[in-house]
Amino acid sequence: MRFMIIVKASPDSEAGVMPSEELMTAMGNFNEELAKAGILIDCDGLQPSSKGARVRFSGDQRTVIDGPFAATKELIAGYWIWQVKSKEEAIEWVKRCPNPMPGTEAEIEIRQVYEAEDFGAEFTPQLREQEERVRAQAKKH
């Protein structure tokens, strides 16, 4: 099972405050543990929403909204993608994670990633082949 582990933003992360060397070292060590355990697929931190944009869809219309975005608690500061056996295993790993926002309350969300078999009959053999081609092409870059 794949899970996306989402680090929620804080006022500091949204202000562009960079993590301390101590936190970067602790996170680097944690990421190394994840890699050695064979569960880490990908991970990265995200720049503040002030450097981002959203595209709102309304029928055929597309509206671009530049950041920053309100409601910091709903924003993402970083993520991991893990391959683990269960949600419980993901929870146990998250509990071992250094506090991503030292000195403040932080939250990490755990969300399972859909797999091909989750989509049922609507995910036809042709669509499966297309997804496999797209994933193979993406891995080349």
Domain count for the chain, please give it. Answer: 1
Angular region, 133: left φ>0, alpha ψ -120 to 50, beta rest: alpha
Closest-CA residue to 54 (of 46, 65, 62): 65
Cα–Cα dist 65/9, whole Å: 19
**Residue 25 belongs to some domain of the structure:** yes
At residue 51, does pLDDT exceed 90?
yes
**Residue 132 belongs to some domain of the structure:** no
pLDDT in tens, 30-43: 999 999 999 999 99
CB 111 within 8 A of CB 4: yes
CATH number (domain holding residue 13): 3.30.70.1060
Res 137: pLDDT: 93
**Residue 128 belongs to some domain of the structure:** no
**Residue 14 belongs to some domain of the structure:** yes
**Residue 136 belongs to some domain of the structure:** no
Cα–Cα dist 7/48, whole Å: 13
Q: How confident is the model at residue 72 (pLDDT cuts 50, 70, 90)?
A: low
The neighbouring-strand residues paired with 82 are 3, 40
